[in-house]
Chain A
């Protein structure tokens, strides 16, 4: 009874149906929407800081250049160092792309040898072969030889720029592993089957490494940081059976070139501890089972080769060790026996790391790596690193531009900026010392890689627009459409009310002109009528 009475009441008399209150409620909704909009925008947008694009673009066009300073002195009678230097400079400049100066100098100029980034060529007739020591090349100069000057130019070109000069070296490019500041080196003694007897139970690898490998590691210390591990395995079966070959009535076993490519049985050999994310270079000493000795390597025609070792590009090296036939029972490989094996590993290591070899006719005095070789490697790696850093920077910028929902955080921006400055430093340092330039370039490479591989750079997943529509429509359409419609209706009512107010206002202007409160009452009535008409 009461309810029906309530329902039949004039809506305009309900307190919450007063136009003012209704508009306030509507305005409150809209205020909430408007206030929430920036927050919604902020929380759903991806942080994309601007990257220094123009700087990156300018940087990617630069090339690192190393000027080369060569001092030339002559101890040979009747040779004019000035003339030779001039001739040498002309012929080397046409062959090498870098800036190059050859300066004649006195025989006993002490300051030259200590100057970083410069080389000293001494012409003598005292040595049989050309000899390098540190940054000095002692070159035998024969006055009677007419090609003496071009021979020297060839040697120098091969020493200074070994990678572009040798057609032979080109073929070995794919062997060289990519630059990494840290390498893991794993030496493994593998017995194919120790149960067959006559197997190597241990090796004195520690002493041998100390004696033979350590000088090399030390010399390469400026470029790489090496971690070394070694292990012995007693059961390392091959995944194939070596071919039996008959040589002079005795049966030997052979590995065909195809066998070599699948020699490493990675499914069953556990070769490294895998504790590191650094690249690993493997060196395997393989002792064949007692029933398959001696094991040799065959060439493609099926005949035996003299070599017992091979390189797997960018992976490591393998040496096959056939113990002497008179061996009885199991044995231990002594440090002295390793003396013939570790130099092969060293050779393989140098090839894998891209250390240039000395050109023919040039020997190293102490047997260690000369400054010429190390510098050539430093220049090469600095060049590679700088180029790779430039390319990575370029691709970061390109990808960020291309993939619209890829976030770019503060740390990425900072790394990119740091890498740019490291590259600048590398370009500057290249004029002074290859080592410094290399250091800066490798830092640039580390920074760019870190920026590229930043875990926060993962782009949000792609959703097709239909997908978004399907998600947003049920959520927002049901909320926004009544709000918009309410505004339109309210606006229409307001206009109608104003119109009627205006017309009735003209009629009553003389009687109620000074009574605004009665006019307001009229308005209320009008609105109620309008409202009722609409229902």
Chain B
């Protein structure tokens, strides 16, 4: 940022502006926090029971950086890919985005492989891997198109996130980032605001039941700070101002092979099988600064279920339920019947009508809460927005004024 500033004519005035803007930012975030608290109140009120009611699982895994020296980011994403696949998410439900192909890099001494540990015990590339977006296809635009579903009609099924309101989505992102942004390739970046808006659009179109966002990058916790849509659980590798570090080098590969945060997550996941009953809380309890060398963050205020009731497999696993079919009914009688107890005449009059009333009532509640929610979100977006506009134009005026004064005084 500062380097950009130096090309402006007068660094001093820009420094003043910079200070002014920092002041304004701190004021703005204070306002956001209090409003967030109020919104949590509403989202928690409309939360459902403890078990997840999803019927399908999806995963979006993004490695956003290029080049051989970013080998570890590819390994991060592939490690997650291997885990979710092992735990039962089919390839058709995994969108894997890899910005580079280190396995086929000429510098790779072990062609066609990607390892995530010293000594190269486990080849993540394996025999059966399906990369949906690769190389220069991994752009901010494509990522947002995947999430929001706004695609050209010609895009094939394998590149689409075909989720509905009963889908749990695991979103994993890794790369180089900073305060509220993550760099894609070497020329663009996605900001925390873009992710928040994309999630909101998904929520509005009912494209998810729950989302688990995991970010492994420097200052990763800032990436989920702007999210405002309900039912999103998020975790990141490091706080604002902290770096995320790589875990280990392999002397033969010649570069770092995995990042610390992802390494410990994957290590935890190795203990888990498809029918595991471990919860998200168990995962978060394993976080420690000593191991990870940074402060991992968890954001659960938007999430409506308690973390100790949220299974790891709700996000990393396949489908959760199966129902037996009563074969006799379906075979004997070609038009299927069910045995319903005939309600006795007294209760039959009251119960169903009450029941329908209760249902419509609860539906109303939700829409009201939603409306309030959106109204608040609207207000919130307009206030700091105005402030920011004002700040931007104000500082342009200051710069212009000072430069003009210098010109005039000569």
Residues of A that sit less than 8 Å from B by CB: 91, 94-95, 97, 147, 150-151, 153-154, 157-158, 164-166, 168-169, 172, 174-175, 178, 239-240, 257-258, 260-264, 266-267, 274-277, 279, 297, 305-315, 317, 340, 343-344, 346-348, 350-351, 357-364, 367-370, 391-392, 395, 398-399, 401-404, 452-455, 457-459, 461-466, 468-470, 472-474, 477-478, 480-482, 484-485, 488-489
Contact = CB atoms under 8 A, between A and B. Distances in A.
Interface residues of B, number: 102
A147, A275, A347, A370: most-surrounded residue (chain B CB, <10 A) = A347
A239 B87 CA distance: 10
Given A274-B158, A484-B400, A484-B404, A261 B320 contact: yes
A453 B149 contact: yes
Nearest to A405: B197
Interface stretch (B109-117, B217-225, B232-240, B373-381): B373-381
19 contacts: A95-B348, A95-B352, A97-B356, A158-B340, A178-B165, A261-B322, A264-B318, A267-B128, A314-B55, A340-B331, A402-B374, A402-B377, A453-B151, A459-B197, A465-B388, A466-B21, A469-B396, A480-B400, A489-B408
Nearest to B2: A470
A488 B330 CA distance: 91
A164 B353 CA distance: 9
B194 A462 contact: yes
B337 interface: yes
Given A263-B322, A314-B55, A368-B335, A94 B396 contact: no
Contact of A458 (B91, B141, B328): B141
B250 to A, nearest CB: 27
Contact of B329 (A158, A174, A310, A347): A347
Nearest to A215: B334
A358 B337 contact: yes
Given A277-B160, A343-B330, A462-B191, A398 B374 contact: yes
B155 to A, nearest CB: 9
B400 A95 contact: no
Contacts of B191: 461-464
A267 B90 contact: yes
B38 to A, nearest CB: 17
B164 interface: yes
A275 B157 CA distance: 7
B137 interface: no
Contact of B274 (A262, A310, A470): A262
A108 to B, nearest CB: 27
A359 B149 contact: no
A403 B408 CA distance: 42
B154 to A, nearest CB: 10
B65 interface: no
Q: Which 3 A-B pairs have the closest CB atoms?
A: A266-B90, A347-B330, A395-B204
Contacts of A489: 408
Contact of B399 (A97, A153, A358, A477): A477
B325 A311 contact: yes
Given A166-B340, A484-B400, A348 B331 contact: no
A472 B408 contact: no
A312 B325 contact: no
A466 B399 contact: no
Interface string B388-410: 11011001100110011001100
A232 B225 CA distance: 50
A462 B157 CA distance: 28
Contacts of A402: 200, 374, 377-378, 381
Interface string B316-359: 01111111111111110111111110110100110011011001
B319 A313 contact: yes
B342 A154 contact: yes
A343 B204 CA distance: 39
A472 B4 CA distance: 11
Contacts of A169: 338
B249 interface: no
A157 B352 contact: yes
B396 A367 contact: no
Contacts of B381: 402, 404
Contacts of A458: 141, 144-145, 148, 150
B205 interface: yes
Contact of A392 (B89, B193, B205): B205
Interface stretch (B5-13, B39-47, B95-103, B280-288): B5-13
A476 to B, nearest CB: 8
A484 B403 CA distance: 11
Given A369-B335, A462-B194, A481-B400, A310 B325 contact: yes
Contact of B204 (A266, A311, A361, A398): A398
Given A315-B319, A465-B392, A469-B396, A359 B340 contact: yes
Contacts of B342: 151, 154, 360-361
